[in-house]
């Protein structure tokens, strides 16, 4: 099955009415790390969750929040054992929903 149709190996809150529209992986030229993107939509609004490996180990730091008109973004470093990832949520959804998605993010099986 193509990666765009597979469920991610992580989970997070999905607001009612939203479905997975697409998923992709790409390698960053800057450091060679992979970035995964999953995009969700309810037909009107949409948001994406980006998960990128990072070497920064400051897990548990407060989420960084941004708002540009109807767009919101939040990101936070998470640690699962020895793996450090930057989780970012960006979309045309309320800030509270963005934070709920970010705070509920987990690697499957944890």
**Structure-block tokens of residue 50:** 């980006």
Q: Alpha-carbon distance 80 to 110, whole Å?
A: 8
pTM, to two decimals: 0.83
Sign of torsion over alpha carbons 13, 107, 33, 65: positive
pLDDT at 88: 94
pLDDT at 96: 93
pLDDT at 26: 83
pLDDT at 85: 85
Domain 3-107 has CATH 3.30.200.100: yes
pLDDT at 30: 73
pLDDT at 79: 78
- pLDDT means per 10 residues, the chain with 110 residues, are 57 94 83 86 96 71 82 88 85 95 82
């Amino acid at each position: 099955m193509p990666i765009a149709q597979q469920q991610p190996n992580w989970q997070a809150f999905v607001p009612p009415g939203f479905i997975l529209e697409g998923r992709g992986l790409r390698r960053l030229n800057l450091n060679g790390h992979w970035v995964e993107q999953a995009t969700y939509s309810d037909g009107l609004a949409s948001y994406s969750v980006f998960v990128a490996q990072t070497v920064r180990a400051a897990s548990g730091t407060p989420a960084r929040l941004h708002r540009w008109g109807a767009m919101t973004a939040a990101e936070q470093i998470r640690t699962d054992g020895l793996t450090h990832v930057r989780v970012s949520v960006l979309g045309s959804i309320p800030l509270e929903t963005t934070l709920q998605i970010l705070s509920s993010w987990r690697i499957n099986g944890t």
